[in-house]
Structure 1
Amino acid sequence: MTRSPATPLPPPKARRRLREGAALTQTQLASRVNVTRATIRAWESGRTAPRGRKREAYARLLKTLAEEDATRRTRSAPPPEPAPAPAPTPTPEPTPVLERVSGPASDTASDPVSDPVSDPVSGPEKGSEPGSEPEPGSEPEPESGSEPEPAPEPAPEHPVLTPAQAFDALYEFSAPALVRQAYLLTGRRELARESVERAFQTAWERWPEVARDRDPVGWVRATAYEFALSPWQRFRPRHRQPEPPPADPGDRTLLNALLRLGPQHRRTLVLYDGVGLDLPETAAETEASTPAAANRLLHARETVAGRLPALADSRVLHQRLTELASAERLWAAKPTGVRKGGERRARFRTRAAIAFTVALIGATALTVRTAPTHYEPAVSPGVAVRGVPPRVAPGSLSEAERELRQKLRDRLQDGPERLEPRLE
């Protein structure tokens, strides 16, 4: 499934160039759009895209920056120097000819629609010598026995691809290389394939935006790198166990050296020495400044050269990275399966959101239904009940009670009288 087209935005690299041209920091730009600095950094790297009102506000601000940049360039451009007038030379008066008119007809030229000679589409008549033009009023005479040649057929128009066909073409063109790059970042074959598939599924969900991007491969690559280097991958059970290392000892040593680098240093090295991006593009994709990206690159090269001195040369390092990525048997799923998998995932998330919303609405309705509709006061404090004799403590024995007690004491406590009571 695809989303409706949103407000168009310039490419991520152009956004960063406009901000730097206006001498604005990411914090200042974020305050204007009323977002955080991390959000602006993600927008300029192409990892995420603005939506809704924030997208419209961001687009208006970028349009204003572009107009200011064009105004500055116009003011700073030097005025054109007047061309020196040519010296007059006595030349014979030329024969009047009809010139082709590409724009509106002038007062001195004939109408290009009514005059077949001045028509910019028809051009000069067939049979005329190159460089010669017909005189006014003269019409070419057809040659005897010659048949008019048929008009050339118009060139076929470029076929218009559907969104699914364009997505499949982009996937088949870039997916194998992206899987190899993700393998250099993670050292895991299954994680590399899954990262690229997730990135393309995200691209299919935002296909109108990705299709208009100046570098759609870079957009997908940034998303795949973010998923592959996510710290949450270590908690997944399927990625806890190590995978078999490469068979070649040199490849195994190089892969271990890459995995010992930090995620950002590893990503910078792969982008610059593996993919071949320049330093500003590498800095933009890693969401860092150009000096920071240069420092990361130097540190990564020193670390790799410390373990493998033969890779101190950048060209040799590029060749070895290519060989390491090409030596493994990495595969990518079919574009149709990736596209349908993304649609199934989107449908599942939509249904889960609907189910959660329905459950929340049901719980709210049940709470409203069972909640008391009026105030119930608390239980009032106890009140003494009349007519009940008060509890008193035991007092002294009466005369009859004393006689009974003495009688019980004087009688025998054992014998048959105790077992067989008699009537007195």
Structure 2
Amino acid sequence: MTRTPETPLPSPKECRRLREAQSLSQADVAAALGVTRATVRSWENGRTTPRGTNRDAYVRLLTGAQEVTPHQENPAPALVGAATGPVQASPDRAEPAPEPPSETPPASELAPEPDPELGPDPAPGPDPAPGPEPAPGPEPELGSELSPEAEPEPLSPSLTPDQAFDALYAFCAPALVRQTYLLTGRRELARESVECAFQLAWYRWPEVAMDRDPAGWVRATAHEFALSPWHRLRPRHRNPEPPPAAPADRALLDVLLQLPPVYRRTLLLYDGVGLDLPETAAETEASTPAAANRLLHAREAVATRLPELAEPKELHRRLAEVASAERLHAAKPTTVRWGGEQRARHWTRAAIAFTVVLIGATTLTLRTAPDHYEPPLAPGATVHGVPPRVAPGPLSAEQLALRAKLKGETVSGPERLVPEAG
């Protein structure tokens, strides 16, 4: 079967220029194509590229060749189109994007190959009965720092580094602490992870400020620090913290903590924060089929223990409720910046002290080390067949008298004996 060639797509920079030339925002493009704003942003950043019908409609919208109907049906798989949707409604969109017909896409479209960490996919079973429709009302924010409607504006060049950092911290830290709590189940570890991530961001602020997604950089750092296996060696982390007060929240958190860390993180990023599948796979450093497979297995594990959360939309709502019920608060940005600076000073002083000690040890070694080679002395060995040397013993009386007589003679010796004539 022949394959239809894809529509030529301009470069990401050109796509952004064409969109701005038509006075369109990323939200307008997302509403016209029926995708999320984060997806449009990833297209313009070059992280992902549109495919299929989305690609044709995107090119037509940028070039103005054909009018695209708003809220056009998204032909991409259900997992790519953010089945859970954002937490808050966008003020510049008249109505939300249409939801996909099913909460999970077919296995042939999503994960054709099994995840090597878990094994082959389980046999498909009957779909669980959908739970009751939740009552409409305001929902707590869980992934507001990366939701398409709550995306922060680019950092203005007129801001000072302190102001830009404080703006990023005020925008991301509250929701990031709640996310990290869902990953670890520990309140203090969640706060500490977020503070360490922002301290590292302040230490590398020129790199973070120029990053395409500063909020994603900080989120990935905080999640990696929170899921580090070295925390289990700390004395204060050996005892579990008190669980949530509500039984339903305690049951959901218990199910999440029983999942493997990579599955838990994938489920949180997709169903909690609202990232699309390619961005979730990139942040967890996995391929897109592997991330989709992890997501399916994590959803299945949650639905097995809690059947009422089989629908992704309901799971997203419950994740936000559990995270918001703890009333977690982040530290002030000035405190975080001061802590990061103090930490940098300590590490700098430690590096200088280590360098001085290393130089001193090297100098002492050079002064005390030998400057030439001295062959080692061979150990002594016994020689057989040679009589041992006998030392002289004490002199007898006659030998002593003879020695005294010889010493009393003149230096030239005794007089010569001359024979007499007879």
TM-score range, shorter chain: 0.5 to 0.7
State the alpha-carbon separation in 2 of the partners of residues 241 and 188 from structure 1. Answer: 10
Residue 295 (1) aligns with residue 329 (2): no
State the alpha-carbon separation in 1 of the partners of residues 286 and 378 from structure 2. Answer: 69
Amino acid at match of 1:182: T
* Pick aligned residue for 1:379 from 377, 380, 401: 377
Residue 276 (structure 1) shift: 0.4
Amino acid at match of 1:355: A
Question: For 1:265-307, what per-residue CA distance to the aligned partner results, in whole angstroms no more than 9, with x for missing partners?
Answer: 0000000000001111111111111111111001000101111
Matched residue, 2:115: none
Query: What is the aligned residue count?
Result: 238
Residue 353 (1) aligns with residue 351 (2): yes
Matched residue, 2:205: 207
Question: For 1:191-219, what per-residue CA distance to the aligned partner results, in whole angstroms no more than 9, with x for missing partners?
Answer: 00000011111111111111112211111
Amino acid at match of 1:390: V
State the alpha-carbon separation in 2 of the partners of residues 367 and 177 from structure 1. Answer: 55
Secondary structure of the equivalent of 2:356? helix
Q: 1:248 to 1:366 in 2, by over 3 A?
A: same
Residue 353 (structure 1) shift: 1.1
Q: Report matched runs for 1:6-85 at 5 Å.
A: none
State the alpha-carbon separation in 1 of the partners of residues 235 and 290 from structure 2. Answer: 34
Q: 1:383 to 1:239 in 2, by over 3 A?
A: closer
Q: 1:382 to 1:265 in 2, by over 3 A?
A: closer
Q: 1:380 to 1:302 in 2, by over 3 A?
A: closer
Matched residue, 1:163: 161
Amino acid at match of 2:284: T
Residue 222 (1) aligns with residue 220 (2): yes
Secondary structure of the equivalent of 2:212? coil
Residue 336 (1) aligns with residue 340 (2): no
Matched residue, 1:399: none
Matched residue, 1:131: none
Question: For 1:309-359, what per-residue CA distance to the aligned partner results, in whole angstroms no more than 9, with x for missing partners?
Answer: 000011100000000000002111110111111111111111111111111
Matched residue, 2:282: 284
Identity %: 75
Residue 389 (structure 1) shift: 5.3
Matched residue, 2:303: 305
- Which structure ranks higher in relative contact order (CA pairs < 8 Å, sequence separation ≥ 6)? 2
Amino acid at match of 1:206: R
Residue 390 (structure 1) shift: 2.3
* Pick aligned residue for 2:242 from 244, 254, 276: 244
TM-score, normalisation: structure 1: 0.53
State the alpha-carbon separation in 2 of the partners of residues 160 and 389 from structure 1. Answer: 100
Q: 1:383 to 1:315 in 2, by over 3 A?
A: closer
State the alpha-carbon separation in 2 of the partners of residues 199 and 389 from structure 1. Answer: 84
State the alpha-carbon separation in 2 of the partners of residues 321 and 381 from structure 1. Answer: 79
Q: 1:272 to 1:159 in 2, by over 3 A?
A: closer
Residue 374 (structure 1) shift: 2.7
Matched residue, 1:267: 265
Amino acid at match of 1:176: P
Question: For 1:42-92, what per-residue CA distance to the aligned partner results, in whole angstroms no more than 9, with x for missing partners?
Answer: xxxxxxxxxxxxxxxxxxxxx9xxxxxxxxxxxxx9xxxxxxxxxxxxxxx
Matched residue, 2:390: 390
Question: For 1:372-404, what per-residue CA distance to the aligned partner results, in whole angstroms no more than 9, with x for missing partners?
Answer: 1233343366699xxx95289xxxxxxxxxxxx
Ranges in structure 2 where 5+ consecutive residues have no aligned partner: 1-11, 13-45, 47-58, 60-155, 383-387, 393-422
Secondary structure of the equivalent of 1:299? helix
TM-score, normalisation: structure 2: 0.53
* Pick aligned residue for 1:175 from 173, 176, 182: 173
Ranges in structure 1 where 5+ consecutive residues have no aligned partner: 1-13, 15-62, 64-76, 78-157, 393-424
RMSD, matched Cα:
2.7
Q: 1:372 to 1:319 in 2, by over 3 A?
A: same
State the alpha-carbon separation in 2 of the partners of residues 242 and 383 from structure 1. Answer: 70
State the alpha-carbon separation in 2 of the partners of residues 382 and 266 from structure 1. Answer: 72
Q: 1:380 to 1:242 in 2, by over 3 A?
A: closer
State the alpha-carbon separation in 2 of the partners of residues 343 and 213 from structure 1. Answer: 21
Residue 234 (structure 1) shift: 0.8
Greater gyration radius: 1
State the alpha-carbon separation in 1 of the partners of residues 193 and 277 from structure 2. Answer: 24
State the alpha-carbon separation in 2 of the partners of residues 159 and 305 from structure 1. Answer: 47
State the alpha-carbon separation in 2 of the partners of residues 370 and 218 from structure 1. Answer: 54
Residue 322 (1) aligns with residue 332 (2): no
Amino acid at match of 2:343: R
Question: For 1:224-247, what per-residue CA distance to the aligned partner results, in whole angstroms no more than 9, with x for missing partners?
Answer: 000001111111112111100000
State the alpha-carbon separation in 1 of the partners of residues 285 and 389 from structure 2. Answer: 88
State the alpha-carbon separation in 2 of the partners of residues 279 and 262 from structure 1. Answer: 19
Question: For 1:234-266, what per-residue CA distance to the aligned partner results, in whole angstroms no more than 9, with x for missing partners?
Answer: 111121111000000000000000000000000
Matched residue, 1:364: 362
Secondary structure of the equivalent of 1:305? helix
Residue 159 (structure 1) shift: 8.2
State the alpha-carbon separation in 2 of the partners of residues 281 and 188 from structure 1. Answer: 26
State the alpha-carbon separation in 2 of the partners of residues 383 and 241 from structure 1. Answer: 67
State the alpha-carbon separation in 2 of the partners of residues 287 and 259 from structure 1. Answer: 21
